Amino acid sequence: AVCLVFLFHLPSALVVIVTLPIAIIMSFICMFYLGVTSNIMSLSGIAIAIGTMVDAAIIMVENAHKRLEDWEHQGRPGSRTDVIIEAAKEVGPSLFFALLVITVAFLPVFTLQAQAGRLFKPLAYTKTFAMLFSAFLAITLTPVLMTLFIRGKIRPEEKNPVSIVLHKLYEPVVRFALRFRKTVIVIAMVIMALTAYPFMKMGTEFMPPLYEGTLFYMPVTMPGASVSEVSGLLQMQDKILKTIPEVAQVFGKAGRAETATDPAPLEMFETVINLKPEDQWRKGMTVDKLKDEMNDALSIPGVANSFTMPIKARIDMLATGIRTPVGIKILGPNLEEIEKIGIALEHHLRDIPGTRSVYAERVMTGYFLDIEIRKNDAARYGLTVDDVGEVIQAAIGGMNLTTTVEGRARYPVNVRYPRELRNDVDKLKRILVPAMTANRPVAFEGAAMAASPPSPQVPLGEVADFRIVKGPTAIKSEEGLLTAYVFIDFSGRDVGGYVEEAKQKAATLKIPEGYRLVWSGEYEFLVKTQERLKVVIPLTLFVIFVLIYLNVRSAAKTAIVLLSVPFSLVGAFWLLYLLNYNMSIAVWVGLIALAGLDAETGVVMLLYLDLAYEKWKKEGKMRNAQDLRESIMYGAVKRIRPKLMTVATILLGLVPIMFSQGTGADVMKRIAAPMIGGSLTSIILELIVYPAIYMIWQSRRLEKEEGLK
Domain boundaries along the sequence of the chain: 1-154, 161-194+554-709, 213-308, 367-471
Confidence of residue 193 (pLDDT cuts 50, 70, 90): very high
Q: Does the pLDDT value for residue 286 go beyond 70?
A: yes
Q: At what angle do helices 522-552 and 80-104 cross, to 10 degrees?
A: 150
Q: Does the pLDDT value for residue 449 go beyond 60?
A: no
Segment 583-639, tens digit of pLDDT: 988 898 889 888 888 887 888 888 888 888 888 888 878 777 888 888 999 888 877
Q: Which residues of 529-550 are buried (b: 16+ CB within 10 A; e: fewer)?
A: beebbeebbeebbeebbebbbe
- If DSSP states are collapsed to H, E and C, what string results for 77-117? CCCHHHHHHHHHHHHHHHHHHHHHHHHHCCHHHHCCCHHHH
Are 482 and 476 a contacting pair, CB within 8 Å? yes
- What's the average model confidence in pLDDT over 139-159? 83
Confidence of residue 709 (pLDDT cuts 50, 70, 90): very low
Q: For residue 487, give the nearest of 317, 684, 618 by alpha carbon.
A: 317
pLDDT at 528: 87
Choices 3.30.2090.10, 3.40.50.1970, 3.30.750.24, 3.40.50.10440: CATH for 367-471: 3.30.2090.10
Please, what is the average pLDDT of the chain? 85
CATH superfamily entry for domain 161-194+554-709 = Multidrug efflux transporter AcrB transmembrane domain (1.20.1640.10)
pLDDT at 453: 56
Segment 376-411, tens digit of pLDDT: 988 888 888 998 998 888 888 888 889 999 888 888
Are 396 and 417 a contacting pair, CB within 8 Å? yes
Q: Does the pLDDT value for residue 341 go beyond 80?
A: yes
All residues at 6 or more sequence positions from 256 whose CB lies less than 8 Å from its CB, including other chains: 262, 263, 264, 265
Q: Does the pLDDT value for residue 101 go beyond 90?
A: no
- If DSSP states are collapsed to H, E and C, what string results for 27-82? HHHHHHHHCCCCCHHHHHHHHHHHHHHCHHHHHHHHHHHHHHHHHHHCCCCCCHHH
Q: Which residues of 600-609 are buried (b: 16+ CB within 10 A; e: fewer)?
A: bbbbbbbbbb
- What's the average model confidence in pLDDT over 661-680? 86
Q: Which residues of 240-251 are buried (b: 16+ CB within 10 A; e: fewer)?
A: bbeebebbeebe
Single pTM value for the model: 0.80
pLDDT at 139: 83
Confidence of residue 448 (pLDDT cuts 50, 70, 90): very low
CA distance 179 to 162: 26
- What's the average model confidence in pLDDT over 510-522? 90
pLDDT at 521: 85
Segment 232-280, tens digit of pLDDT: 899 999 999 999 999 999 998 888 777 666 677 788 888 999 998 888 8
Same fold, 213-308 and 367-471: no
Please tell me the number of Cα atoms within 13 Å of 568 on its side-chain side: 26
pLDDT at 10: 78
Fold assignment, 213-308: Alpha-Beta Plaits (3.30.70)
